[in-house]
Amino acid sequence: MTSTTTTAGDDHAVARRLADSAGEVLLGLRAARTDLEGAELKDAGDRASQEHLAAALADVRPDDAVLSEEAKDVGDRASATRVWIIDPLDGTREFSERPREDWAVHVALWQDGDLVAGAVARPAMGATLATDAPPALPERPGGPGAPVRLAVSRSRPPAFVTALAERLGAELVPMGSAGVKAMSILDGAADAYVHAGGQYEWDSAAPVVVARAAGLHTSRIDGSPLTYNREDPLLPDLLICRPELADFLLDAIADTHATA
Ligand SMILES: Nc1ncnc2c1ncn2[C@@H]1O[C@H](COP(=O)(O)O)[C@@H](OP(=O)(O)O)[C@H]1O
Ligand SMILES: [Mg+2]
């Protein structure tokens, strides 16, 4: 683990540093353990990143609670005032498919009712985005009239997304990892990320807080707010998109559901 002290940096900087250092652990593991593949590589990655992040958080933020995909949800996390919501390896499948780059580390902080800081590291791409320095949203290539590009899961795209894409004349951009899909909007490679059918708070917390800091729209697919640190961490659907497309996409999603 990288050396840290309890006073080192504000929460935004801590989120970035932890996501980056966990990414280094994962890159090192993937390079060194050429004997591992498939489920063994996935498990080794989940475990190594979880151990790193748990130790780092215990060091720099010992009084805060943690909700992680890879740790038992114990104690009174849901009634805590500060909770780090982490996914040590998002896009686990893609991590195990060398040399794919579409996997991420998610580190977010929830405080007093909402997400307040976070980072999404994309270690194999060398591209971390965080709330300490949110990027400016690039122009849409082709301008406002260009077909909408929807980032979707490459392994389990929600059934309604195909119908939605047909309704919109949109292009599907399949890739792994919720964080990679959300950040692809900030890279200018997609215009929206639509998901439904299952996911958990750790899959979307860091992507959502970084997306919001950069001015993107974030909501459930019915337009209601995404809320975090609930007793049950199931958070099965979301829409993250360029702000000027939000009403258009929410209407189209509602129409698609109405006619399904
Ligand atoms: N229907 C579903 N139910 C539960 N989790 C889902 C899901 N669809 C996607 N996810 C989770 O969302 C993340 C991104 O998935 P995808 O790449 O398919 O879009 C993955 O996280 P993990 O890799 O952390 O498990 C995946 O497990
Ligand atoms: Mg995940």
Atom of ligand 1 nearest to the CA of 87: 24
> Could you tell me which CATH class the domain 149-259 is placed in?
alpha beta
Q: Which of 10, 243, 20, 24 is nearest to 120 (CA)?
A: 20
Angstrom CA distances, 1 to 5, 58, 65, 257, stand at 12, 12, 20, 47
Q: Is the ipTM of this complex over 0.85?
A: yes
Q: What is the pLDDT of residue 260?
A: 66
Instruction: Compute the distance from residue 50 Cα to the ligand 2 centre, in Å.
Output: 12
Say whether pTM exceeds 0.90. Answer: yes
Atom of ligand 1 nearest to the CA of 91: 23
Same fold, 11-130 and 149-259: no
Q: What is the pLDDT of residue 133?
A: 96
Q: What is the pLDDT of residue 142?
A: 85
Substitution candidate for ligand 1 out of 177, 181, 208 with most atoms within 8 A of CB:
177
For 56-91, write each residue's pLDDT tens digit: 999 999 999 999 999 999 888 999 999 999 999 999
Substitution candidate for ligand 1 out of 43, 120, 156 with most atoms within 8 A of CB:
156
Does residue 247 register a pLDDT over 80?
yes
For the chain, domain boundaries: 11-130, 149-259
Fold of 11-130: Fructose-1,6-Bisphosphatase; Chain A, domain 1 (3.30.540)
